[in-house]
Amino acid sequence: MMKNEYIPFPAVIEDVRRETFDTKTFRVRFQDKEAAGAFKYKQGQFMEVSVFGKGEAPISITSSPSRKGFLEFTIRAAGSVTKSIHDLKKGDCLYLRGPYGNAFPFEELKGRNIYFIAGGIGLAPLRSLINMVFDNRKDFKHIKLLYGAKTPDELCFKGELETWKKIPDTEVWLTVDKPCDGWGCRVGVVTELWKDTHIHPDNAVAILCGPPIMMKFVIMKLAESGFKDKDIIMTLERYMKCGIGKCGHCNIGEKFICVDGPVFNYEQVKQLPHKEGVF
């Protein structure tokens, strides 16, 4: 999209939707028509999102390539940059460079059963692929989404969760650590959802994202269920910084997560030096 990797393009915020008490989804469009026309991205990629005077942060693209004309980013207010983004309103500008990284597989998933497994804001990087799959629903077999959060209020994309439940041959299973009055789904961590639905590896792939400790135990449960390492796919986007393999922040062994990833299967992850004691 751009000749100089370090120069961002301005994008106007068209809509801001609150997901949770600390998370918002921003829908943007490029101001420059040439930039907009040349821009292409894949499901699972990320961009460097900046606010002038505050800095930039790597943020997964939450929207799907199958839905044209806009980009969406679901952002938790966790640091100075993301808090500054949260202060912006409709009509303000964000500055974007990218897209960067590899992508979740798509063609390779056709004809297979898919398990999406997410914790908290970990559903945001998966949403791009989820909606792309649903926009091509006939190409895929049974789909299950297993999603957990600390409380019901901290579940993202609540409206879409209801929409996804109604799509044929699709299951959506939810769990929270601390329920509220009227909560009718399971209580506990994501792996508790194994009690509610059959998890089977036949012609299946599992795609997951969430806190490191969640992914550790989900991988263990998937292995117990018979999934092969190559059929467990995850994103390690939490390690990234510059986006182009220059700063070294995301270097693990021989890999730069921002360039070689952020999407890996577990077979690949097992070859990386252990980090944070997770894998």
Place of tokens 């026309």: 37
The CATH topology of domain 107-235 is Rossmann fold (3.40.50)
Q: Is 206 left (phi over 0), alpha (psi -120 to 50) or beta?
A: beta
Is the pLDDT reported for residue 12 higher than 70? yes
Q: Is the dihedral of CA 155, 160, 166, 170 positive or negative?
A: negative
pLDDT digits (tens, 9 = 90+) for 158-191: 999 999 999 999 999 999 999 988 888 889 999 9
Mean pLDDT of 102-125: 97
225-226-231 Cα angle (round to 5):
110
Exposure class string for 23-40: b at 16+ Cβ within 10 A, else e: bbbbbbebeeeeebeebe
Mean pLDDT of 197-219: 95
According to DSSP, the residues that pair with 11 across neighbouring strands are 30, 94
What is residue 22's three-state secondary structure?
coil
**Identical fold, 9-100 and 107-235:** no
CA distance 142 to 5: 40
Please state, for a pLDDT cut of 90, what percent of the chain lies above it: 78
Exposure class string for 66-105: b at 16+ Cβ within 10 A, else e: eeeeebbbbbbbeeebbebbbebeeeeebbbbbbbbbbbb
CA distance 191 to 220: 10
Is the pLDDT reported for residue 105 higher than 80? yes
What is the CATH class of 9-100? mainly beta
pLDDT value of position 37: 72
Domain ranges of the chain: 9-100, 107-235
